[in-house]
Amino acid sequence: MSDTLLTPVHDADGEPFWEYAARGELRVQACADCSELRFPPRPCCPHCQSFDSAWRPMSGQGRIWSYVVPHPPLLPAYAARAPYNVILVELTEAPRIRLVGNLVTDPDAPLDSVPPDQVRIGARVRAVFGSDGLPRWVLERP
The DSSP-derived string for 68-97 is E---SS--HHHHTT-S--EEEEEESS-TT-
Beta carbon nearer to Zn ion, 33 or 108:
33
Evaluate whether 99 touches 88 at the Cβ level (below 8 Å).
yes
Beta carbon nearer to Zn ion, 33 or 112:
33
Beta carbon nearer to Zn ion, 31 or 119:
31
Residue 48 binding Zn ion, by CB under 5 A = yes
For residues 127 and 24, give the distance between their C-alpha atoms in angstroms, rounded to a whole number: 9
Question: Taking the complex as a whole, how short is the minimal distance between the CB of residue 17 and Zn ion, in angstroms?
Answer: 18
Considering only residues 7 to 46 of the shown chain, the ones binding Zn ion according to CB under 5 A are 31, 33-34, 36, 45
What kind and span of H or E run contains 20?
helix 15-22
Evaluate whether 126 touches 137 at the Cβ level (below 8 Å).
yes
Residue 114 binding Zn ion, by CB under 5 A = no
Residue 74 binding Zn ion, by CB under 5 A = no
Task: Name the site residues for Zn ion (rule: CB under 5 A).
Answer: 31, 33-34, 36, 45, 47-48, 50
